[in-house]
Structure 1
Amino acid sequence: MALIQVRNLVKEFEGQTVLSDIHLDLQEGDVRVLMGASGSGKSTLLRCLNRLVEPTSGSILFRGKEILGPDVDVRELRKQIGFVFQQFALYSHLTVLDNVTLGLQKLQGMNKAMAKERALLELSHFDMIAHQDKYPSQISGGQKQRVAIARALAMDPAVLVLDEPTSALDPVMSRDVADLVNRLHGEEITMICVTHDLHFARNIADTVMFLDRGVIRADDCIDVLSQHSDPIIQAFFQNEKKF
């Protein structure tokens, strides 16, 4: 059984259909990449997975259990589906260490000492111990991304969701994040990632799901998609190759 199963998912905003009849399976240990033009519904789909956005209709099963019902504990669900936002979403008034410990104390109920121990362990995996007392404004974009991922993983989620993790980074930092994702994959961390960066997508996964106007129109190898018979898909991947 897939870790996450999405069936017939629909999301409408003010009468406009943003997602239509989405079907998606995410297996344990998978790294799935979702690509498509701006406005195609990629980020909305990610946000539906942990109910940051409420779907209009359809079904999302997490470990075989429906998560869209009114009795679902959304707070507990979000502990299991960790989210790394496009612009990192670090608290500017908190240090690197405090950004990681906050959720552990507020959501996991850890005391300060336990939260610090757990946070330092996670930061050590990302070579960020030396920066623990710095504020987000004092570290690079790549380092901010490491902190954001460390913060999510400190909660021990079943799935790590990454929304455009390289959009604010230069090519060198993007490669660094790709290496990091591949390392996590080697540790069997399950991930689903939205990206516009074709080079990044190639580095972290063999296949890509292509979303167009709210519909997943293809799920295949990047080389196959770039020669796809659908002109919209073919044009997208050929244009991406130019950058």
Structure 2
Amino acid sequence: MALIQVRDLVKEFDGQTILSNINLDLKEGDVRVLMGASGSGKSTLLRCLNRLVEPTSGSIVFRGKEVLGPNVDVRELRKQIGFVFQQFALYSHLTVLDNVSLGLRKLHKMGRAEAKEKALFELSHFEMTPHRDKYPSQLSGGQKQRVAIARALAMDPAVLVLDEPTSALDPVMSRDVADLINRLHGEGITMICVTHDLSLARNIADTVLFLDRGVIRADDRIDVLSKHSEPEIRTFFGDKETL
């Protein structure tokens, strides 16, 4: 059974259909990549998974249980589906250590000492322990990304959701993020990633889901999609010889 099953998911906003009959399976240990033009609904789909956005209709089953019902504990759901936002969403007034430990204290009800120990453990995985007392404004983009991922993983989620993890990074830092995602994959972390970065997509997953105007139109390898019979898909994946 898939860890997450999305069936016939629809999201409408002000009379406009943002997502239309989305079907998606995410298995334990998978890394799934979602790509598409700006405004295609990618980030909305991610936010539906942990109900940061409420779908209009359809079904999302997590670990065998429907999560769109009125009696679902959304806070517990969000503990299980960790989210790394495009602009990192770190608290500017908190240190690196406090950014990572805050959720442990507030959501997991850990004591300050236990939360600090757990936060330092996660930061050590990302070589960020020396920066524990810095504030986000004192960090590079790549360092902020590492803190954001450490904060999400500190909650021990079943799934890590990454929304454009390289959008604010230069090519060198982007490669570092790809290496980091592959390392997490090797450790068995289940992930779903939205990106515009073809290089990142090639480095972290065998296949890509292509979302176009709220509809999943393809799910295949990039080398196959770059020679797709539909010109829009072929153009997006950049095979210049076939244009």
Quote the residue 1:65 is aligned against.
Answer: 65
Q: Are the structure 2 counterparts of residues 133 and 72 from structure 1 closer, same or farther at C-alpha, using a change threshold of 3 Å?
A: same
- Using structure 1 for the length normalisation, give the TM-score: 0.98
Q: Does 1:32 align with 2:32?
A: yes
Cα drift, residue 66 of structure 1: 0.1
Quote the residue 2:47 is aligned against.
Answer: 47
Quote the residue 1:197 is aligned against.
Answer: 197
Q: Distance in 2 between matches of 1:227 and 1:240?
A: 10
Q: Aligned-residue CA RMSD in angstroms?
A: 1.1
Quote the residue 1:112 is aligned against.
Answer: 112
1:165-191 Cα deviation digits (max 9, x unpaired): 000000000000000000000000000
Quote the residue 1:163 is aligned against.
Answer: 163
Cα drift, residue 87 of structure 1: 0.3
Equivalent residues of 1:79, 1:157 under 8 A apart: yes
Q: Distance in 1 between matches of 2:130 and 2:42?
A: 35
Q: Distance in 1 between matches of 2:224 and 2:192?
A: 20
Quote the residue 1:130 is aligned against.
Answer: 130
Cα drift, residue 238 of structure 1: 1.2
Quote the residue 1:226 is aligned against.
Answer: 226
Amino acid at match of 1:76: E
Q: Distance in 1 between matches of 2:71 and 2:174?
A: 40
Equivalent residues of 2:226, 2:239 under 8 A apart: no
Q: Distance in 1 between matches of 2:60 and 2:159?
A: 14
Amino acid at match of 1:218: A
Quote the residue 1:56 is aligned against.
Answer: 56
Identity rate, percent: 84
Q: Does 1:14 align with 2:20?
A: no
In the comparison of the two structures, how many residue pairs are matched? Answer: 241
Quote the residue 2:172 is aligned against.
Answer: 172
Equivalent residues of 1:17, 1:214 under 8 A apart: yes
Cα drift, residue 103 of structure 1: 0.3
Q: Does 1:206 align with 2:215?
A: no
Cα drift, residue 240 of structure 1: 9.6
Structure 1 residues not aligned, in runs of 5+: none
Q: Distance in 1 between matches of 2:236 and 2:147?
A: 32
Following TM superposition, the consecutive aligned residue runs of length 4 or more in structure 1 with deviations greater than 3 angstroms are none
Other structure's SS at 2:191 match: strand
Cα drift, residue 232 of structure 1: 1.1
Cα drift, residue 231 of structure 1: 1.1
Equivalent residues of 1:32, 1:208 under 8 A apart: yes
Quote the residue 1:94 is aligned against.
Answer: 94
Q: Are the structure 2 counterparts of residues 240 and 93 from structure 1 closer, same or farther at C-alpha, using a change threshold of 3 Å?
A: farther
Other structure's SS at 2:6 match: strand
Q: Distance in 1 between matches of 2:90 and 2:239?
A: 33
Amino acid at match of 2:123: L
Q: Distance in 2 between matches of 1:240 and 1:108?
A: 51
Cα drift, residue 239 of structure 1: 7.2
Q: Distance in 2 between matches of 1:120 and 1:18?
A: 40
- Using structure 2 for the length normalisation, give the TM-score: 0.98
Q: Distance in 2 between matches of 1:180 and 1:240?
A: 30
